[in-house]
A and B are shown apart, each in its own frame.
Chain A
Amino acid sequence: MSALRKIVRKYLIIALVSCCGLLYAQTAVAPEYQVKAVFLYNFTHFIEWPSSTFPSTKSPFIIGILGKDPFGPYLEETMSGENVDGHPLIIQHYDKVDEIVTCHILFINKSEASNMANIVANLKGRNILTLSDAPDFLQRGGMIRFLTKSGKIQFQINLQAVQSAKLDISSKLLRLAEVVDPN
Chain B
Amino acid sequence: MLFADLPIQKKLMRGINLISGVVLLVTCTTFFSYEFYKFRQTSTEKLSTIGKIVSANGTAALAFANHDDAQEILASLKSEPNIVAACFYDEKGNLFSQYPANLGADAFPVKPEEAGYRFSSSHLEGFEPVMQGSQRLGTLYLKSDLGAIYERFQLYGIITAFVIAISLLLAYLLSRTLQNTITKPILALSETSKIVSDQRDYSVRAVKLGNDELGSLTDAFNQMLAQIEEQNKTLSEFNQKLERKVTERTRELESANKKLELHATKLKESEEQIQTIFRSAPDAVIVIDEAGKIVRWNPRAEIIFGWTAKEVIGKSLFDKIIPDRFRETQKQEIKQFIKARNGTALNKSLELLAIRKDLTEFDAGINISPTILNGKYYFIGFVSDITFRKNAEATIKQKSEELAYSNKELGDFAYIVSHDLKAPLRAIASLSNFLEEDFGDKLGKTGKQQLNLLVGRVHRMNNLIEGILDYSRLRPDKSKAGIVNLNHVLKEVKELIGSPGNIEIKIENPLPTIMFDQTKIEQVFQNLVGNAIKYMDKPKGIIRIGSSIEDNFWKFYVADNGPGIDERYFDKIFQIFQTLTARDERESTGIGLAIVKKIIDTNGGRIWVESQLNEGTTFYFTLPMN
User: Contact residues of A with B, CB < 8 Å?
Assistant: 35, 38-39, 42, 45-46, 82, 85, 153, 155, 170, 172-173, 175-176
- Asked if A45 and B61 make an inter-chain contact with CB atoms under 8 angstroms apart, the answer reads no
Q: Can you spell out 24 A-B residue pairs with CB atoms less than 8 angstroms apart?
A: A39-B63, A42-B63, A42-B64, A42-B135, A42-B137, A45-B59, A45-B63, A45-B133, A45-B135, A46-B60, A46-B63, A46-B132, A82-B135, A85-B133, A153-B65, A172-B59, A172-B60, A173-B60, A173-B64, A175-B60, A175-B69, A176-B61, A176-B66, A176-B69
CB pair B60 A170 closer than 8 Å: yes
Q: Which of A35, A42, A82, A155 has the most CB of B within 10 A?
A: A42
Taking CB as reference atom, which chain A residue is nearest B59? Answer: A172
With a CB–CB cut-off of 8 A, which chain B residues contact A176? 60-61, 64, 66, 69
What 0/1 pattern do residues 58 to 87 of B give for CB contact below 8 A with A?
011101111001000000000000000000
CA distance A170 to B57 in the complex (A): 11
Contact status A35-B133, CB under 8 Å: no
**Contacts A42-B135, A45-B59, A176-B69 known; 19 new A-B pairs at CB < 8 A:** A35-B65, A38-B65, A42-B63, A42-B64, A42-B132, A42-B137, A45-B135, A45-B137, A46-B59, A46-B132, A85-B133, A85-B134, A153-B65, A155-B64, A172-B57, A173-B60, A173-B64, A176-B61, A176-B64
B66 contacts which chain A residues (CB < 8 A)?
A: 176
Partner of A45, one of B57, B65, B69, B132: B132
What residues of chain B lie closer than 8 Å to A35, measured between beta carbons?
65
Using Cβ atoms and an 8 Å threshold, which residues of chain B touch A153? 65
Chain B contact residues, majority secondary structure: mixed
In the docked arrangement, what's the CA distance between A82 and B91, Å? 14
A82 to B134, CA, bound (A): 10
Chain A positions within 8 Å of B133 at CB level: 45, 85
Residue of A nearest to B63 (CB): A42
Q: Which 9 A-B pairs have the closest CB atoms?
A: A172-B60, A45-B132, A42-B63, A176-B66, A176-B60, A45-B135, A176-B64, A45-B133, A173-B60
> Which single residue of chain B is at the shortest CB-CB distance from A82?
B135
Separation of A175 and B64 alpha carbons in the complex (Å): 11
Q: Which residues of A contact B61 (CB under 8 A)?
A: 176
**With a CB–CB cut-off of 8 A, which chain B residues contact A46?**
59-60, 63, 132
B56 closest partner in A (C-beta): A172
A17 to chain B, nearest CB (A): 27
CA distance A172 to B55 in the complex (A): 12
Q: Chain A residue with minimal CB distance to B135?
A: A45
What is the 8 Å Cβ interface bit string for chain B, positions 129-150, against chain A (1 contact, 0 not)?
Answer: 0001111010000000000000
Min CB distance B137 to A, Å, is: 8
Closest chain B residue, CB of each to CB of A84:
B133
A165 → chain B closest CB, angstroms:
20
Bound-state CA distance A173–B66 (Å) is 11
- Interface SS of chain A: helix, strand, loop or mixed? helix
Using Cβ atoms and an 8 Å threshold, which residues of chain A touch B137? Answer: 42, 45
**Min CB–CB distance A161 → chain B (angstroms):** 20
Q: What residue of chain A has the Cβ atom nearest to residue B58's Cβ?
A: A172
Q: When each residue 241-279 of chain B gets 1 if its CB lies under 8 Å from chain A and 0 otherwise, what string results?
A: 000000000000000000000000000000000000000
A173 to B65, CA, bound (A): 12
For the complex, what is the distance from the CA of A167 to the CA of B436, rounded to whole Å? 230
Tell me which residues across on chain B come within 8 A of A85, comparing CB atoms. Answer: 133-134
**Min CB gap B200→A, angstroms:** 100
Chain A residues with CB below 8 A from B57, complex form: 172
Task: From B57, B63, B66, name the one whose CB has the most chain A CB atoms within 10 angstroms.
Answer: B63
Q: Which residue of B lies closest to A173 (CB)?
A: B60
Q: Which of A39, A45, A170, A173 has the most CB of B within 10 A?
A: A45
Measured CA separation A82–B136 after assembly (Å): 11
Q: How far is the CB of B363 from chain A (nearest CB, A)?
A: 179
B69: A residues at CB distance < 8 A: 175-176
Nearest B residue to A83 via CB reads B134
Expressed in whole angstroms, the Cα–Cα distance for A82 and B132 within the complex equals: 13
Residue interface bits B28-65, CB-to-A below 8 A is 1, else 0: 00000000000000000000000000000101110111
Bound-state Cα–Cα, A74 to B65, Å: 17
- Docked pose: A175 CA to B63 CA in angstroms: 13
Nearest CB of chain A from residue B197's CB, rounded to whole Å: 93
Distance of A54 from chain B, by nearest CB (Å): 15
Cα of A35 to Cα of B135 in the assembled complex, Å: 17
CA distance A170 to B61 in the complex (A): 12
Of chain A, the residue at the smallest CB distance from B62 is A42
Shortest CB distance A143–B (Å): 16
A70 to chain B, nearest CB (A): 18
- Minimal beta-carbon separation of B444 from chain A (angstroms): 225
Q: Which residues of A contact B64 (CB under 8 A)?
A: 39, 42, 155, 173, 176
Q: What is the distance, in angstroms, from A113's C-beta to the closest C-beta of chain B?
A: 24
CB-CB under 8 A from A38, the residues of chain B are: 65
Q: Which chain A positions have C-beta within 8 A of B59?
A: 45-46, 172
Instruction: Please report the C-alpha to C-alpha distance between residue A35 and residue B64 in the assembled complex, in whole angstroms.
Output: 8
- Measured CB to CB, the closest approach of chain A to B81, in angstroms, equals 25
- Bound complex: CA A153 to CA B65 (Å): 9
Q: What is the minimal beta-carbon distance from B124 to any residue of chain A, in angstroms? A: 27
Of listed B60, B64, B65, residue having the most chain A CB within 10 A: B64
Within 8 A of A (CB), among B120-174: 132-135, 137
Chain B residues with Cβ below 8 Å from A45 are: 59, 63, 132-133, 135, 137
How far apart are A153's CB and chain B's nearest CB, in angstroms? 8
A39 to B91 alpha-carbon distance, docked (Å): 13
How far does the alpha carbon of A60 sit from the alpha carbon of B611 in the complex, in Å? 190
* B67 to chain A: closest residue by CB: A152
Q: How distant is the Cα of A35 from the Cα of B90 in the complex, in angstroms?
A: 13
| Nearest CB on B from A87, distance (A) | 12
In Å, the complex CA distance between A45 and B64 comes to 11
Minimum distance in angstroms from A12 CB to a CB of chain B: 27
Which residue from chain A places its CB closest to the CB of B60 in the assembled complex? A172
Of the candidates A38, A46, A172, the one having the most CB atoms from chain B within 10 angstroms of its own CB is A172
- How many angstroms from the CA of A134 to the CA of B245 in the assembled complex? 146
Q: Which residue of A lies closest to B131 (CB)?
A: A45
- Alpha-carbon separation in the docked complex, A46 to B63 (Å): 9
> How far, in whole Å, are A45 and B66 apart by their CA atoms in the complex?
16
Shortest distance between the CB of B140 and any CB in chain A (Å) = 15
Q: How far is the CB of B55 from chain A (nearest CB, A)?
A: 12
A16 to B: closest C-beta gap in Å: 24
Q: A175 vs B60: C-alpha distance in the bound complex, in angstroms?
A: 9
User: B57: nearest residue on chain A (CB-CB)?
Assistant: A172
User: In the complex, A45 Cα to B61 Cα: how many Å?
Assistant: 12
CB contact list, B354-381 vs A, under 8 A: none
The residue in chain B whose Cβ has the minimal distance to the Cβ of A48 is B133
Instruction: Provide the bound-state CA to CA distance between A12 and B63, in Å.
Output: 36
| Alpha-carbon distance between A173 and B132 when the two chains are bound, in angstroms | 11
Distance between A46 CB and nearest chain B CB, rounded to angstroms = 6
User: In chain B, what residue has the closest Cβ to A174?
Assistant: B60
Bound CA span A153–B64, Å: 9
